[in-house]
A and B are shown apart, each in its own frame.
Chain A
């Protein structure tokens, strides 16, 4: 190593414009060339300092956008008509929090049931039975082609179409169980039913797409190993499909969070309806809409964090090395920078 370096150093003086002080220690690639006796040694660039290319356009863009952001923030902070005081007053009011809980409840129940039903529908659609395929296709077709608003109103008014719901033996008078439709379908039930079925139609397609994205060879290998069909779906195919499913699925869930606000037509007291009731009384329309908006932003932000970590979980094995999470990056930054900073502060 050291002998190679000296050979290079000796050959260096013939090279014009080469910095004298540097280069001797870190230019091993040259040594082979020198060793083989090349007549005119190539210029050794290893000692020069690197200067990155300049991007003036990028700087202009950055300044313009920063000005825009500053203007928006300034107006939000200084325009008294936003009435931030009213926002703060209502943000954690009991009635608003109750509405928020109802919204979260609707999202969680309809989201979970919707995706479970969607998984079943996706498997039906991929089955070999033409009837199962047909039923699954028709389900998605109907629920994707009708507005959610109409579906909700239809479920809520089911009592008009069918007065009683009963379980018994068809074409006889035997009834095990019978109930008035209007008592069975409360506002909550109509909301969950409508949101779930609508969600299932969309998630079925998302899950089917994910399953189709998994290489056929995976199923073949699993079958050749004698792994049972259900286990093949849940252990081999689904975890791999999740990578394709998750981004779109979170889109759907985030859409569902805000989609629950449509339930206000049933006078169901979720977040949006609650806020409406309040501003109809106090006439502070915009600040209260802002309260609801801020809560939706909070929920979406929390969901985005979940999404990041869940996607990361399912990317195991898909990338050679997982990149650091933002949190890990921050920790590493402080681990490497903090001691020096403290010293300078003292």
Chain B
């Protein structure tokens, strides 16, 4: 199962895990996950391994189950079959007396503090300033002292280049700035894993890069990143592993050089031929 991801370290621009010295946590193991909405099966048995500090980029046509898969990793979406572990710990369930018991809300919330998530529509809290957005979760979910949370939040806002906008409300910020605040908010919990759900899809083209640059910087920091995106150039730069999904299944995965230049599956080839060629031939 886990061989699939690490099979092509030679093709990857940087060998995952090994290149990041701090990467000892954030091992994601997704095993045969199934999910049904009504009559449609959106995930038909998906298995994926992302090693600590690894960067997995999930691509594929819309409706292929990419976002749903991402949302199962922090239990925003309950799985109907299969299971997910993070550093060996089951997500959303606990094994007791040979049965998987769903965790209580409190324990699920605690698990989620290890998993940051960045949304397509930012979902910043509009009635709170940038700084208040970032310090909220560390204070109430992790019980950090307010002054410490504030100090750390200002560091993070500085890291995403927005230290001087700490007291601005989200509506006073551009889309790109809002998304960078959202990234700082996710980082404030010091998560093992960061999930990005199409982080640039709601942005004007000229604002995409300021967000991608921040994510690029995170890719070398040792945090495990799982990114759903349509930015193929970015995927090629930043990914250790590119995962191609279609119709609720992983069709193919591998290092970016391999998968973009020499895809094995016809479906992968036809998808990339539609998406990549215009972008690469500029």
Contact = CB atoms under 8 A, between A and B. Distances in A.
A225 B110 CA distance: 9
A228 B185 contact: no
Interface in B117-142: 117, 119, 121, 123-129, 136-137, 140-142
Given A220-B76, A225-B136, A227-B141, A240 B127 contact: yes
Contact of A228 (B123, B141, B172): B141
B123 A221 contact: yes
A239 B136 CA distance: 14
A316 B170 CA distance: 11
A217 interface: yes
Contacts of A224: 74, 76, 112, 115-117
A317 B127 contact: yes
A218 B141 contact: no
A227 B126 contact: no
Nearest to A316: B127
A221 B106 CA distance: 16
Interface in B68-127: 74, 76, 105-106, 109-113, 115-117, 119, 121, 123-127
Interface residues of A, number: 24
Interface in A223-239: 223-229, 231, 235-236, 239
B189 interface: yes
Contact of A317 (B123, B140, B169, B185): B169
Contact of B109 (A218, A227, A236, A318): A227
A239 B141 contact: no
B76 A227 contact: no
A252 B129 CA distance: 31
Nearest to B137: A225
Interface string B180-211: 00000110010000000000000000000000
A319 interface: yes
A315 to B, nearest CB: 9
B140 A223 contact: no
A226 B108 CA distance: 8
Contacts, number: 76
Contacts of B185: 225
Q: Taking each of A220, A221, A316, which has the highest tally of chain B beta carbons within 10 Å of its own beta carbon? A: A221
A223 B121 contact: no
A217 B119 contact: yes
Given A217-B119, A235-B136, A225 B169 contact: no
A239 B109 contact: no
B114 to A, nearest CB: 9
A217 B121 contact: yes
B108 to A, nearest CB: 8
Interface in A89-125: none
B171 interface: yes
Nearest to B128: A317
B140 A231 contact: yes
B136 A218 contact: no
Nearest to B188: A225
A314 interface: yes
A320 interface: yes
A226 B112 contact: yes
Interface string B152-192: 00000000000000000111100000000000011001000
A325 to B, nearest CB: 19
Nearest to B142: A226
A32 to B, nearest CB: 24
Contact of B141 (A220, A226, A314, A319): A226
Nearest to A229: B105
A225 B123 CA distance: 11
Contacts of B124: 221
17 contacts: A218-B123, A220-B119, A220-B123, A221-B123, A224-B116, A226-B141, A226-B142, A227-B136, A228-B105, A231-B140, A240-B126, A240-B127, A314-B127, A316-B169, A317-B127, A317-B129, A318-B171
Interface of B: 74, 76, 105-106, 109-113, 115-117, 119, 121, 123-129, 136-137, 140-142, 169-172, 185-186, 189
